[in-house]
Structure 1
Amino acid sequence: MDAAAVLTRLAEVIDAHDWDGLPALLHEDFTCRLVHTDEEFGKDAWVAFNADYPGFERMHLEDLVAGGDRAVLRARVIGRGDGGEELVFAVASFATVRDGLVSELVEVWADVGQEAPEGTRLG
């Protein structure tokens, strides 16, 4: 698979909670770094991190840009907090693909719905 197809499939597998299928998309040397926490995961740890993440419900792919062995996706992630309230996040995932598998992933997460400082909102 090319980078666009692999990243599209990655989002589909995560959205479906197909934790048994997720490792098949990841290279043996896979690493993921979360920019906001500076955590780094290997293949098995990242699969477990996703499978065990509390309250996760859905991952909606919103945009994808790819070229060569690199691809970037932007997705909206929906979850539930401890009180059952809906939580919405945005994630940008920057991937490198090797041998048709994701070998490196860097993710940038943000809360959705934050209030912009006064006077900074356009329009």
Structure 2
Amino acid sequence: MDTAALLARLAEVIDAHDWAGLADLLHPDFTCRLVHTGEVFDRDGWVRLNADYPGFERMHLEDLVAADDRGVLRARVTCAGSDGADQVFVVASFASVQDGLLAELTEVWTDVDQQAPDGTRPLA
């Protein structure tokens, strides 16, 4: 499977909550680094993080770019908050592929609808 197809499949299996299918896409030496927290997960830990994430509902692929053994996807993720309201996040996942499997991911997560800090934009 080429890099673009592998990343598209990644989004599909996460959206479907197919955790066994997720593990099948990951290289045995897989690592994922979350930029915003500094955490690093191995293959089993990253599958467990996704499977056990509280309230996770959907992952919708919005953009994908790939060349050779590198690619990036951007997706919108929805979770049910503890108060019942939807929480919406966006993730950019930068991937390296080895032997047809995802070998490394670096993920950048953010909440949607954040406001720019005061004083950081030109006055209108």
Under a length normalisation based on structure 2, what TM-score does the superposition of the two structures give? Answer: 0.94
**Higher deviation after alignment, 110-119 or 52-61:** 110-119
* Structure 2, gaps ≥5 residues long: none
**Could you tell me the percent identity over the aligned residues?**
69
Structure 1 residue 80, shift from structure 2 partner: 1.0
Structure 1 segments unaligned to the other structure (5+ residues): none
Report the residue type matching 2:12 in the other structure: E
> Hey, what does 2:62 align to over in structure 1?
62
TM, length-normalised to structure 1? 0.95
Question: 1:66-90: CA deviations, max 9, x gaps?
Answer: 0010000000001111111110001
Query: In 1, distance between residues paired with 2:10 and 2:35?
Result: 19
For the aligned residues, what is the CA RMSD? Answer: 1.6
What SS is found at the alignment partner of 1:62? Answer: strand
- Counterpart of 2:43 in structure 1 is 43
Counting matched residue pairs gives 123
Deviant stretches of 4+, over 6 Å: none
Q: Which residue of 2 aligns with 1:10?
A: 10
Counterpart of 2:34, as a letter, is L
